[in-house]
Structure 1
Amino acid sequence: MKLSARNQLPGKVTAVNMGVVTAEVVIALDGGGELVSVITKTSVENLGIAVGKKVHAVVKSTEVMVAVD
């Protein structure tokens, strides 16, 4: 599948915390670091997301904030 989003970050799911409606998916990125996404429980089920599964975190945003101390 090709996407227009430039920020496609490959990684592996390390945790899935299911709620009633949403789920928190923790992804260890291949390049280092970790990303946490909150998606619907239905999406987790439909995509077969589970611990150990290889996934791509796709970030598409019109605004990205940068902060410094």
Structure 2
Amino acid sequence: MKISARNQLPGRIVAIRPGAVNGMVKVDIGGGMTVTASITEEAITDLALAEGDQVTVLIKASDVLIGK
């Protein structure tokens, strides 16, 4: 599958926190860094995501915000 997102970060799922509609999936991308994604419970089920799975975090956004 080809995709347009150029920001692709391989990692391993370290936690999944279910929610009513969306769940939180935490991915260890190495170097002591993690990425947390809020995705639908349906997507978590469809992808059969589980802790320990190797995944790729894909980031495509028109806006990136940084705060301090």
**TM-score by shorter chain over 0.5:** yes
TM-score (normalizing by structure 2): 0.89
Distance in 1, matches of 2:7 and 2:31, equals 13
Contiguous gaps of at least 5 residues in structure 1: none
Q: TM-score, normalized by length of structure 1?
A: 0.87
* Alpha-carbon shift at residue 30 of structure 1 (Å): 3.6
Structure-to-structure mapping, 1:1-69, within 5 angstroms? 1-30=1-30, 32-67=32-67, 69=68
Displacement over 6 Å in runs of 4+: none
The CA deviation at 1:66 is 3.7
What percent of counterpart residues are identical?
35
Question: What per-residue deviation string (whole Å, max 9, x for no partner) do you get for residues 18-64 of structure 1?
Answer: 11211000000045410000000000000011000011111001122
SS at 2:20 equivalent: coil
Q: How many residues align?
A: 68
